[in-house]
Amino acid sequence: MSEEKYDLVVIGSGPGGYVASIVAAQKGMKVASIEKRTTLGGTCLNVGCIPSKAMLHASEQYENAVKLNGNKEWGITCKDVKLDLTKLLKKKSGIVDELTKGIDFLYKKNKVTKYIGTAKFITANSIEITGDNTRNLIHAENIIIATGSEATHLPNINIDEKKIVTSTGALELKEVPKKMIVIGAGIIGLEMGTVWRRLGSDVEVIEYLPRILPGMDNEVAEKFMKILEKQGLNFKLGQAVESSKIVENKVVLSIRNVTKENTYEIDADVVLVAVGRKPNTHGLGLKDLNIDIDKHGFIKTNNHFQTSINNIYAIGDVIKGPMLAHKAEEDGVAAVEIINGEAGHVDYNLVPGIIYTAPEVAVIGKTEEELKEEGIEFNKGVFPLSANSRAKAISHTDGMVKILSDKSTDKILGAHMIGHEAGTVIHELSIAMGFGASSEDVARICHGHPTVNEAVKEAALATYSKAIHF
Ligand code: NAI
């Protein structure tokens, strides 16, 4: 049994935890990273961002090839397009494998010690790690909790990860379901629903609220829903899923129409439950240490990521803020900087949100609804991608860029876009907003032609003057 002492112990090796471990080691700290999975990288690399993006990529290629079959418009024909799902899943797993091993390499390079096992606090400075056949007790001056989140379950719906799946099971289906029902029109539901629709499933999305993507800008959510419907995704809004049963190899869901209050049943071959995620803190022994947790299960922290115990910090999905990998990474860096006596800070208003469908959706800053609620007067500039020459040249004209700027100062307050590679394009606005730029600042920057970024320039121009090409 090891009784090693470290400057910093990080529990969890997702994007928050592994980044914190590496940065701390780079700053000269003696660091240990504890992970209960056998591979590093957490949800994001193992069963989240990375495998889902691999499947979104593969399914998009497949759908494009299928669409070319018999399509004379571009003069390209693609016949006998076949899907080998086993190979697709193997390729996806190979990508995950390479990336998780890449973190092992970075740990070795930076001299981060890895412990595989489940961590439990014994005191505020010591942690017990229980592995398959191992038990270690290690000590630390400072500890960061970065244990992430897990899928929220619904009462009366029994997840078996085969017929009723979370996002984890949805990455491993052995055959394309004829009919798939997705419960929840959030990011996971729309991304994974899109993957399986492209691969051949008839996909229906059941959402409790009267809209998709709660919290996102209304106009963007409405336009995006129309685009997804055009692509073949079916939506049932204002419907609460109440229970499930298996009848003759089908999943039968009992659904209540929220406004009409009537209940009915629909069936599917596979049901994906994507109704949100909850912080993962059980088994850590937080109660015994009296670490404060809010009513939703999030660990309470001050502005320095400190929990109610000074030398114990928490970052990423277990604390407040958007549950996103890149937010967790920024939290990790800032927490390490603070532990190291430097200034660390993350502006949650400037964390971009991206949906990796085609077109992509990318948002940053305030929505129109938030600005109205906060009583902030704003100008709005919108530019449709149908008027962008690059979008036209590549047949990706679905979408728009919308920029919201302060009425009196012209400072950009929010940017919302749907479009080809919007998740990449949005970063010009992230940088602009990070430097407190105005719409005019962005509009006066020379943008390359032809690029989708020109739609950003035009939307910026439209906030205080007039777009040129629309
Ligand atoms: P979500 O919170 O984004 O959406 C869940 C949806 O389910 C909501 O629209 C909610 O109204 C609905 N819902 C809840 N109970 C329901 C019921 N009984 N019947 C029908 N609908 C119901 O959660 P989601 O999509 O599971 O994502 C979880 C987290 O993971 C989010 O924070 C998301 O941002 C993050 N994520 C981010 C990705 C990205 O950045 N591209 C990809 C995947 C996940």
449 is an active site residue: yes
Task: Encode pLDDT of 292-308 as tens digits.
Answer: 999 999 999 999 999 99
Do 5-64+72-151+278-346 and 350-464 show the same overall fold? no
Below-70 pLDDT ranges, the chain: 1-2
Residue whose CA is at the smallest distance from ligand 1 atom 14: 275
**Is residue 182 a contact partner of residue 162, using CB atoms and an 8 Å limit?**
no
Q: What is the DSSP string of 36-75?
A: SSSSSSHHHHHHSHHHHHHHHHHHHHHHHHHHHTT--TTS
Q: Which atom of ligand 1 is nearest to the CA of 356?
A: 41
Ligand 1 mean position, distance from CA 439 (Å): 32
Of residues 316, 318, 319, the one with CA closest to residue 282: 318
CB 17 within 8 A of CB 11: yes
Q: How far apart are CA 165 and CA 195, in angstroms?
A: 15
Report CA 187 to chain centroid distance, whole Å. 7
Considering the entire predicted model, what is its pTM?
0.96
Query: What are the DSSP calls for 231-245, one per residue?
Result: HT-EEEESEEEEEEE
Confidence at residue 2, expressed as pLDDT on a 0 to 100 scale: 63
Which pLDDT does position 77 carry in this prediction? 85
Shortest-distance Cα residue to atom 41 of ligand 1: 355
What is the distance between the alpha carbons of residues 389 and 392, in angstroms, rounded to a whole number? 5
Q: Is 365 left (phi over 0), alpha (psi -120 to 50) or beta?
A: left
pLDDT score recorded for residue 71: 74
Q: Which residues, judged by CB distance below 6 Å to any ligand atom, belong to the binding site of ligand 1?
A: 154, 183-189, 191, 206-209, 214, 240-241, 274-277, 323-324, 354-356
Fold of 164-275: FAD/NAD(P)-binding domain (3.50.50)
Superfamily of domain 5-64+72-151+278-346: FAD/NAD(P)-binding domain (3.50.50.60)
- Out of 188, 205, 320, give the residue to mutate to test ligand 1, the one with the largest number of ligand atoms within 8 Å of its CB: 188
Instruction: Please give the number of the atom of ligand 1 that sits closest to the Cα of 190.
Output: 25
Q: What's the pLDDT at 1?
A: 58
Centroid of ligand 1 to alpha carbon of 185 (angstroms): 7
- Strands 378-384 and 179-183, sheet pairing: unpaired
CA of 212 to the centre of ligand 1 (A): 10
pLDDT at 318: 98
d(CA 408, CA 144): 42
Q: Is the distance from CB of 195 to CB of 59 less than 8 angstroms?
A: yes
Residue 353 CA to ligand 1 centre (angstroms): 13
Q: Which atom of ligand 1 is nearest to the CA of 355?
A: 41
CA of 228 to the centre of ligand 1 (A): 17
CATH number (3.50.50.60, 3.40.50.1010, 3.30.930.10, 3.30.390.30) of 350-464 reads: 3.30.390.30
Q: How far is CA 146 from CA 11, 16, 79, 149, 415, in A?
A: 6, 6, 48, 9, 30
**pLDDT tens-digit map of 6-52:** 999 999 999 999 999 999 999 999 999 999 999 999 999 999 999 99
Q: Ligand 1 pocket test: pick from 153, 277, 363 the residue with the most ligand atoms within 8 Å of its Cβ.
A: 277
Residues in the chain: 470
* Chain centre to alpha carbon of residue 275: 13
* Domain positions in the chain: 5-64+72-151+278-346, 164-275, 350-464
Out of 282, 345, 449, 469, the active site residue is 449
